[in-house]
Structure 1
Amino acid sequence: MEKYSTIQVTLALLVFSFFNILSAQKVALYTEESIYESIEFAMPKVKTTSFPDYQVSIVDFGAVKGGLVKNTDAFSKAITAVNAKGGGQITVPRGIWLTGPITFKSHINLHLEAGALLIFSDDFNDYPLIKTSFEGLNTVRCLSPINANNVENIAITGTGIIDGSGDAWRPVKKSKMTDGQWKTLVQSGGVLSKDGKIWFPSEGSKKGYESSTNFNVPDLITEDELQSVKDFLRPVMVSIVNSKRILLDGPTFQNSPAWNIHPLMSEDIIIRNIHVRNPWYSQNGDGLDLESCKNALIYNNTFDVGDDAICFKSGKDKDGRVRGMPTENVIVKNNTVYHAHGGFVIGSEMSGGVKNVHISNCTFIGTDVGLRFKSTRGRGGIVENIYISNIDMVHIPTEAIRFNMFYEGNAPVLEEDQNANDEKRDEKMVEVTEETPSFKNIFMKNINVADSETAAFFMGLPEMNLHNVSLENSVFETKKGITAIDADGLTLLNVTIKASNDFALTIYNSKNIKISNFKFNESQSAIKVLGSKSSNIQFDKKDVANEKEQIQTGKEVSNKTINLK
């Protein structure tokens, strides 16, 4: 593939901006009724919030702007008073407002006026340890800056900004910064890991990291010792648990300690017109993690974050299976994602399942991966009935579409200190149990990709293949084509691959594959079929002008494996 010039890149971004403007105009016409149009499954109508015509200002309860005085008590008093009145709006006026954690009660609309900047304290003592769930596991973390548990009818609205002071909490990898940035960070204080490759804001944060074998849960120390690693147990910025009728509409959420927005075991959720921002180097800097939730609308939002952007989860391993609550009945429309590990993501913590999801009219600009599906042996859970359409992507450095059932938690783009794509695949068949993840009935169409490393990578498990996955009416301009490993029932219909230096399609140990109207560059290597377990692979005769030259097969592939019709 030719390298794009600065002018070409600029023109491409202008084109995408133009389409985003058109998309925004379309969304402006949407109503809560029309958002349900063209949905492929029976979608219950999301119950909406409603508040009494009663308003107060945080100033009425003693809040002081300027960013020097903590207003934790003023927020608490305002919420208590409005809740006692039966609910209403609490206004945050223009200005800088410093506060500790804000705990919602039912029937509260926290409204940030234009120019309002709500900054959460960077004093870790303001955030006590609580029992919660993080990354799908039952664990202990610090109380979230914005938190709600077992409430109903709550909202965060307006056009102000909510800042979680995340830089005070987050460790940073040297590989994610320039030499100058790293030098400045180290000189600011904090401590380094033994190998000098990770900066921690405090000794407690470093101790927590060294006490963990399982990502962010310190499992090498007792619960009694957790207070000593409190700095490491950074919270998600917005935690909404066991709650109903939730609206986020308008504000910017940024600089979170960990994930930005985390609805958990909640229902009737509307997230629209928000902007979510995190530095690209932010560890666990996800945008939105919808976990074990049902009946949700996510539309007209922008994300620019340090990890996955729009991510669906349902618990991890045994904790998720015992919870047994899938994420289900969700519509995702008209969202733009800039930097992220994945634009739209399912997993890897999906042990309770994910089903009945519609994603359409989204644009991914420079995300590490576009559509990302991840799990591993031990998770369990079923992901099914996922409908994806009208997705535009540009400048994707890895795969536009990626299914990986051997996910080990690595970032999708190589860093200096890790081989991020070295997820270990094991061809050994293992017994299918409740710990076996299953991805099936996933339908993608109208996917358009310009400038990516790889078009698509479909990889299931030997004992549980990806089942009934289709890709239709799509165009990929990439360096590498499509690879399918351990797939059963993959359909490629009206797909164009413009791969500059690789096979258009590689199939390994896959079966019941149907390819029709498959187009590729005549000059490139075309199709490769490998694996003794490959069977019933069907092509259209018109797509393959010269079978012997354009289809390469391994010695282990049976003569009956490939059919031209």
Structure 2
Amino acid sequence: MNASITSGGSASVPQNLCVPALGYDEKSVVLVWDKPDNYANVVDYRVYMDGTLLGSADTNNTTHSPAKAYIDKFYANDTAGFHVRARIHNFTVDGLQAGTTHTFTVRAVFQDGTESADSNVVRQTTATAPAKAVSIVDYGAVAGDTSDTAAIQANTKAIQKAIDECSAASTSAYGCKVTVPTGIFKTGALFLKSNMTLQVDGTLKGSEFASDYPRTQGYKLYTYNAIRRAPSLINVLDAADTGAASKGAGTFSNIRVVGSGTLDGNGWKTTGRTTGGDGANTLTTDEVSGQTITTKFIASSSTNVTNDGILAAAQNAACSGQLIDPLDTTTSAIASSDIYGNCRSSIATFRGVKNLYFGTLTISNPAFHGLMFLETENVTVNGAQHRTYDSNNGDGLEFANGSNTIVMNNFFDTGDDVVNFAAGIGSPAASQPIQSGTWILNNYMREGHGSVALGSNTGAWIEKIKAEDNVMNTTTMGLRMKSTPTTGGGGRNIVFRDNAMKSIKQNAFIVTLSYTQTPGGVPNAAATPAQFRDIVVRNVSVDGSGCKTPACTTYEVNVATGDGNSKGAPIEITGASSAGTEYNGVPAYQEAFSFDSVKFNNVKPVRLYYLKNSTFNNVSVTNLVTGTQDATNSAGSCGISITPASGLFSFVAPNNNIGAACP
């Protein structure tokens, strides 16, 4: 029997129910929706198909999301009820028949058990069986974790042939399916085509040989970057990639990468997983299983890659012996300092793709980044496990100069930023597309650097990000924004709400213009300084923020410029003073931040430095940790409203100019 429906008004009805890009197949349909305008009393959602109740979002997510068990355990451990509750607002309908059409609606469930009225109606037809479905073994691919170069190259050719022939006549993502069966298949770089599905149920493991990732088949990050990077394990790249995807999103289209298997980059050796240093909060026991976590990928560097790396070491060595870029006619030299940052392969690079679905796979051990999405449009990343901790530069997801993305139900345990955004560097970035429109929901983020990170490449602007109903546990930072004044652009129109954070190693919220651009720095300074503005943080809980080592007990300020980062402040928002030659004698302000109903426990005071026209409403703290503050902790800030007063904002006179008028 269904619960009774309360009128509630339109403000209590779920909004914008939809099927995300390519979020369906022969047997299932994925649904996602916006919360009602008034959702304070909402405890769950119920989904209806053809008028019949299917079940609740919370229960359904337990079956379909690898993040859900960790989210549930997080709240089970929150016996004091301190944390903001992340609500699930997506649903996977499965067990359907191919080629059948259904209608779907969703209702909010309130604390008293009543339901809202129906959302908008979504009508969706499941896919039909693919016209062509092939297994890579049918083309000669052989399972085995071999180090035989001939065998790896034979596998690469066989898998690529399966991709090429299957996709040749396909006109949609559902017309061609290439399957990787159970087993480990060692391969070099592979290149997907438009209108296909790659289903990995076994393991695609990257070759350890640099020659299997020829840079002549790689890509340039930007048109103004002279270095052509090696291709990734999985690629969608134009054969003559110039660094701009000049045709933009739509150069490729309609691609699904799914399955129950693993993409293994074979990048680094492993080492013991122990605590210490800034990693004092490093987890050695899995939160859900209770089992000891014994290994991690080595957190290496450019100086140690030879000893620590597998593919990373091979590619670094090969690039060191090849100090020219054969495909660049204007700037052929590759600076030795850039080799490490440009010559390693990621797990996947998708460029210029319109309509892309990536779901349910495990990402492991990249030599460089995890998944990179460059100039893409309509992307869904759903239910994947990103297990790259603590590989150097091992970001989870990288989005650059693209639009319209949904990231949901993912488990992240990454070696660098979890979900990161980029948009070019300096004045040349003005000709690039804005990175715009991303929805991040119902994910569990563990041990990465920034949970949601903007920059450091901000030149064309990063905008319209909504991150809500996520749990972040032992990440280094929560919401992270980083750039330099000369990089230009920045971030704007960001909503970070209804998220819970625990044991954050450095800053729960960090905004800085003092981040070093590497590799290569800023080639040409932007006309105006970078800025982060119009940022809303609402209904967020933070239990513990700030690392525990002696180096983190005081604010870290560059004496020459007055700029710098504090590892200990739960909120650190810093612009740039007029000191320092790159600022042209004019301060660079961050602006229009709104923190509303944010609560902290076990944290030090905040730091605001060259922030203006911002509000802090109902920002509370329990168990304030005494920290040593200096005279720069609020220098230059103006037009700041703090209601009510809180010990978090205990600034040092005479630089307590929070109430000062702005220039």
Kindly state the Cα deviation for residue 396 of structure 1 after the two structures are TM-superposed. 0.9
Whether the 8 Å contact between 1:455 and 1:477 is mirrored in structure 2 is: no
- Is 1:28 aligned to 2:91, yes or no? yes
Q: 1:96 aligned to 162, 184, 189, which one?
A: 184
- For residues 191 and 105 of structure 2, the distance between their equivalents in structure 1, rounded to whole angstroms, comes to 33
* Structure 1 residues 529 and 91, CA gap change in structure 2 (3 angstroms): farther
**Which residue does the alignment assign to 2:162?**
78
Q: 2:613 aligned to 489, 508, 517, which one?
A: 489
**Which residue does the alignment assign to 2:372?**
262
Q: Describe the superposition over 1:42-74 as per-residue Cα deviations: whole angstroms up to 9, x where unpaired.
A: xxx9x9997862322112212222333432122
**Which residue does the alignment assign to 1:449?**
542
- For residues 33 and 296 of structure 1, the distance between their equivalents in structure 2, rounded to whole angstroms, comes to 22
In structure 2, give the amino acid aligned to 1:305. T
Kindly state the Cα deviation for residue 209 of structure 1 after the two structures are TM-superposed. 7.5
**Which residue does the alignment assign to 2:590?**
466
Q: Describe the superposition over 1:145-180 as per-residue Cα deviations: whole angstroms up to 9, x where unpaired.
A: 1100231101111111110111179xxxx99999xx
Q: 1:510 aligned to 637, 646, 650, which one?
A: 637
**Which residue does the alignment assign to 1:541?**
none
In structure 1, give the amino acid aligned to 2:659. N
Whether the 8 Å contact between 2:278 and 2:505 is mirrored in structure 1 is: no
- For residues 166 and 472 of structure 1, the distance between their equivalents in structure 2, rounded to whole angstroms, comes to 42
Whether the 8 Å contact between 1:100 and 1:145 is mirrored in structure 2 is: yes
Q: 2:478 aligned to 348, 370, 375, which one?
A: 370
**Which residue does the alignment assign to 2:145?**
67
List aligned pairs for 1:331-480, cutoff 5 A.
Answer: 331-408=439-516, 434-453=527-546, 454-462=569-577, 463-480=587-604
* Structure 1 residues 91 and 250, CA gap change in structure 2 (3 angstroms): same
**Which residue does the alignment assign to 1:128?**
214
* Structure 1 residues 272 and 77, CA gap change in structure 2 (3 angstroms): same
Q: 2:412 aligned to 303, 309, 312, which one?
A: 303
Q: How many residues align?
A: 470
Q: Describe the superposition over 1:433-484 as per-residue Cα deviations: whole angstroms up to 9, x where unpaired.
A: 6241021101111110111123200111332211100111011113312111
In structure 2, give the amino acid aligned to 1:378. T
Partner of 2:90, secondary structure, is helix
Kindly state the Cα deviation for residue 231 of structure 1 after the two structures are TM-superposed. 11
Q: 2:659 aligned to 536, 548, 552, which one?
A: 536
Whether the 8 Å contact between 1:89 and 1:109 is mirrored in structure 2 is: yes
- For residues 595 and 253 of structure 2, the distance between their equivalents in structure 1, rounded to whole angstroms, comes to 40
- For residues 313 and 382 of structure 1, the distance between their equivalents in structure 2, rounded to whole angstroms, comes to 9
Q: 1:288 aligned to 373, 397, 402, which one?
A: 397
Partner of 2:77, secondary structure, is helix
In structure 1, give the amino acid aligned to 2:77. V
Q: Describe the superposition over 1:334-360 as per-residue Cα deviations: whole angstroms up to 9, x where unpaired.
A: 111111111110001111101111110
Whether the 8 Å contact between 1:314 and 1:349 is mirrored in structure 2 is: yes
**Which residue does the alignment assign to 1:236?**
346
* Structure 1 residues 298 and 97, CA gap change in structure 2 (3 angstroms): same
Partner of 1:509, secondary structure, is coil
* Structure 1 residues 455 and 204, CA gap change in structure 2 (3 angstroms): closer
Whether the 8 Å contact between 2:477 and 2:505 is mirrored in structure 1 is: yes
Q: Describe the superposition over 1:103-127 as per-residue Cα deviations: whole angstroms up to 9, x where unpaired.
A: 01111110122xx111111111111
TM-score w.r.t. the length of structure 2 is 0.63
Partner of 1:403, secondary structure, is strand
**Which residue does the alignment assign to 2:44?**
none
List aligned pairs for 1:150-165, cutoff 5 A.
Answer: 150-165=251-266
List aligned pairs for 1:139-178, cutoff 5 A.
Answer: 139-149=227-237, 150-167=251-268
Partner of 1:481, secondary structure, is coil
Structure 1, unpaired ranges of 5+ = 1-9, 38-44, 179-184, 213-220, 411-431, 538-559
Higher strand proportion (structure 1 or 2): 1
Whether the 8 Å contact between 1:274 and 1:301 is mirrored in structure 2 is: yes
* Structure 1 residues 29 and 321, CA gap change in structure 2 (3 angstroms): same
**Which residue does the alignment assign to 1:272?**
382
Whether the 8 Å contact between 2:427 and 2:527 is mirrored in structure 1 is: no
**Superposition RMSD on alpha carbons, in Å?**
4.4
Kindly state the Cα deviation for residue 531 of structure 1 after the two structures are TM-superposed. 3.4
Whether the 8 Å contact between 2:156 and 2:190 is mirrored in structure 1 is: yes
- For residues 140 and 272 of structure 1, the distance between their equivalents in structure 2, rounded to whole angstroms, comes to 30
- Is 1:106 aligned to 2:194, yes or no? yes
List aligned pairs for 1:194-205, cutoff 5 A.
Answer: 205=316
- For residues 318 and 259 of structure 2, the distance between their equivalents in structure 1, rounded to whole angstroms, comes to 40
- For residues 159 and 442 of structure 1, the distance between their equivalents in structure 2, rounded to whole angstroms, comes to 37
Q: Describe the superposition over 1:418-438 as per-residue Cα deviations: whole angstroms up to 9, x where unpaired.
A: xxxxxxxxxxxxxx9624102
Whether the 8 Å contact between 1:469 and 1:489 is mirrored in structure 2 is: yes
Kindly state the Cα deviation for residue 315 of structure 1 after the two structures are TM-superposed. 1.4
Whether the 8 Å contact between 2:459 and 2:526 is mirrored in structure 1 is: no
Whether the 8 Å contact between 2:401 and 2:423 is mirrored in structure 1 is: yes
- Is 1:58 aligned to 2:136, yes or no? yes
* Structure 1 residues 315 and 168, CA gap change in structure 2 (3 angstroms): farther
Kindly state the Cα deviation for residue 491 of structure 1 after the two structures are TM-superposed. 0.5
In structure 2, give the amino acid aligned to 1:132. Y
Kindly state the Cα deviation for residue 314 of structure 1 after the two structures are TM-superposed. 0.8
Kindly state the Cα deviation for residue 513 of structure 1 after the two structures are TM-superposed. 0.7
* Structure 1 residues 199 and 60, CA gap change in structure 2 (3 angstroms): closer
* Structure 1 residues 168 and 48, CA gap change in structure 2 (3 angstroms): farther
In structure 2, give the amino acid aligned to 1:364. M
In structure 1, give the amino acid aligned to 2:91. A
Q: 1:251 aligned to 356, 361, 370, which one?
A: 361
In structure 1, give the amino acid aligned to 2:638. K
- For residues 408 and 301 of structure 2, the distance between their equivalents in structure 1, rounded to whole angstroms, comes to 41
